[in-house]
Amino acid sequence: MTAKTRVEAVITVHKYEPSVYEEPAAGPVLSKIHVEESFSGGIEGDGVVEFLQSGNADGTASFVGIERITGSVDGKSGTFLLQDNGTVADNIVSGDWFVVPGSGTGELTGLRGTGGFRANLGEGAQVWLEYWFEG
């Protein structure tokens, strides 16, 4: 069994650019959201992500995304991808993510992990990642 290490970090959003790509007469609106953010804590660095989101008239939403993080995890530097899925409900954004297998570079080659995030809508997210290395 591979030992897992947990790190926690805070995300600060620097750019949030939603664009609607389908707005039907009835039913959820479909949007693409470009986000640029930075991480501080056990994950340090910058992230860029594209989300696809279905949004309901009551403010609830469901989304998926893939993010590239350039920086470090516990002091090991490189890049890696996180695949996200989550929801917005009662002005709380929450979800889960995992490290895309094979996406790590530099000292993060072989990085694997799972984690998640939670934030009040429009504020920086509290995030965590339980990670290990393949091999």
Query: Token pair for residue 18?
Result: 């939603």
Going from the C-alpha of 64 to that of each of 14, 42, 51, 86, the distances in angstroms are 19, 23, 5, 7
pLDDT at 1: 60
CA 51 to chain centre: 9
**Domain encompassing residue 40:** 5-133
DSSP-based three-state secondary structure for 132: strand
> How many independent structural domains does the chain possess?
1
Instruction: Give the per-residue pLDDT at 121.
Output: 77
pLDDT at residue 2, as a whole number = 75
| pLDDT tens for each residue of 98-111 | 999 999 999 999 99
**Separation CA 51–CA 66 (nearest Å):** 7
At 37-92, the pLDDT tens digits run 999 999 999 999 999 999 999 999 999 999 999 999 999 999 999 999 999 999 89
| CATH number of the domain bearing residue 113 | 2.40.350.10
pTM for the whole thing? 0.93
Q: Which among 64, 70, 63, 62 is positioned nearest to 38, based on CA atoms?
A: 70
The answer to whether 127 touches 115, Cβ cutoff 8 Å, is: yes
Pairing state of beta strands 126-133 and 5-22?
antiparallel
